[in-house]
Amino acid sequence: MTSRMKLDDYVEGVLRGDRTVLGRAITLVESTKPEHQQLAQQMLLELLPHSGKAHRIGITGVPGAGKSTFIDAFGSNLTAEGHRVAVLAVDPTSPRSGGSILGDRTRMQRLSNDSAAFIRPSPAGGTLGGVTRSTREAIVVVEAAGYDVVLVETVGVGQSETIVANMVDFFLVLMIAGAGDELQGIKKGVLELADMIAVNKADSGNEERARAAAADYQRALRLMQPASPNWTPPVLTCSALNNTGLDTIWQQIQLHRRKLSDSGEFDLKRNRQQLDWMWAMVDDRLLSMLRAHPAVRELIPTLEAEVAGGRLTPTLAADRILEAFSKPVD
């Protein structure tokens, strides 16, 4: 279906906010077919001047933090204020499932039926770099279509937090009260990425525990070096279920952007992210080329068996792979 559309069809459709064309445009950037990738890059060049103005907000959460309920309520508040909200997912840990956001119609009921919102799952399958690329390029597409708030959700765990933090302006970490750090799966590295921590589910008699947890996280943050010299990450409590505290979170996100913009840090951060994206794509493409090289493919089973059996060091095996890769294909 995408191959029958021409470059102008994609560009004009996206710019006028046609949701059908928008979906097809994102499908195009997710495709790994060379002819689709060529067309996608031409389209992105046309759309780039129309992108870049949105709030890009990354959202992650510990298990049970109510992330879906939060995004549904937070996004609905923003559309009620006249914003247009796009929700994208990053799930490099689950290449077969396509990301749990595929169930958005059950877990984000209001947003999925909101004409001012657009929800898109992460692509199924592909490499980590492929998921990263397609999400970054999807951000460009939805911004060009007029969405002024882009919520990038981490569906998986582990690497996905760092990936999302490197493609957004503001990174929000949702926590809950009443469970130890080990049970929540929280890592120090995630706290270091946070521009804000929000303790959700401060409701149903849980308000005091939520405030105590917020104080604990505030103390933990004081022991860390802030990521920005112009921003000290706040710790707030909220209830997505009762829609309390979400307006304060949005006010803090706007304040963060003003402070970073006034200092010049905002533009520097966006520029650095573009360069990081470029080099990440170089790494990903080189690895794909290496694995597809005929001589390398032939060597890998033997080398893996020898390394696993302790008959060859990993470094020597790597040298042999690179040596085979450097030879021209007949």
Do residue 201 and residue 220 come from a single domain? Answer: yes
pLDDT for the residue numbered 201: 94
- CA–CA distance, 211 with 124 (Å, rounded to integer): 39
Is 12 among the domain residues? yes
Q: Band the pLDDT of 187: cuts 50, 70, 90.
A: low
- CA–CA distance, 33 with 3 (Å, rounded to integer): 11
Q: Can you state the angle between helices 128-144 and 265-292, rounded to 10 degrees?
A: 140
Q: Which amino acid is at 2?
A: T
Query: Which one-letter DSSP state was computed for residue 123?
Result: P
Do residue 64 and residue 30 come from a single domain? Answer: no
Q: Report the sign of the C-alpha dihedral through residues 217, 223, 226, 227, in that order.
A: negative
Is 35 among the domain residues? yes
Is 218 among the domain residues? yes
Rounded to the nearest integer, the mean pLDDT of the chain is 88
Q: What is the pLDDT of residues 86-134, one digit of tens each?
A: 999 887 655 444 444 445 445 788 999 999 999 998 665 555 566 678 8
Is 271 among the domain residues? no
Is 268 among the domain residues? no
Element (H, E) at 198: strand 196-199
Domain with 41, as residue range(s), is: 1-50
Do residue 126 and residue 238 come from a single domain? Answer: yes
Q: Region 290-313: what's the mean pLDDT?
A: 95
Structure tokens belonging to residue 298: 């032939």
pLDDT for the residue numbered 280: 83
Do residue 36 and residue 88 come from a single domain? Answer: no
Do residue 286 and residue 296 come from a single domain? Answer: yes
Is the pLDDT confidence value at 198 over 90? yes
- CA–CA distance, 133 with 278 (Å, rounded to integer): 9
Is 119 among the domain residues? yes
Exposed e or buried b for every residue in 80-107, given b needs 16+ CB within 10 A? Answer: eeebbbbbbbbbbbbbebbbbbbebeeb
Q: Which amino acid is at 234?
A: P
Q: Structure pTM?
A: 0.88
Is 249 among the domain residues? yes
Domain final position from 10, 29, 50 = 50
Is 273 among the domain residues? no
Query: Which one-letter DSSP state was computed for residue 122?
Result: P
Q: What is the pLDDT of residues 40-89, one digit of tens each?
A: 999 999 999 999 999 999 999 887 889 999 999 999 999 999 999 999 98
**CATH assignment of the domain containing 2:** 1.20.5.170
- CA–CA distance, 142 with 137 (Å, rounded to integer): 9
Structure tokens belonging to residue 162: 């760092």
**CATH assignment of the domain containing 183:** 3.40.50.300
Do residue 232 and residue 315 come from a single domain? Answer: no
Do residue 113 and residue 222 come from a single domain? Answer: yes
Do residue 79 and residue 218 come from a single domain? Answer: yes
Q: Band the pLDDT of 191: cuts 50, 70, 90.
A: confident
Do residue 164 and residue 289 come from a single domain? Answer: no
Domain final position from 262, 295, 312 = 262
Domain count, the chain: 3
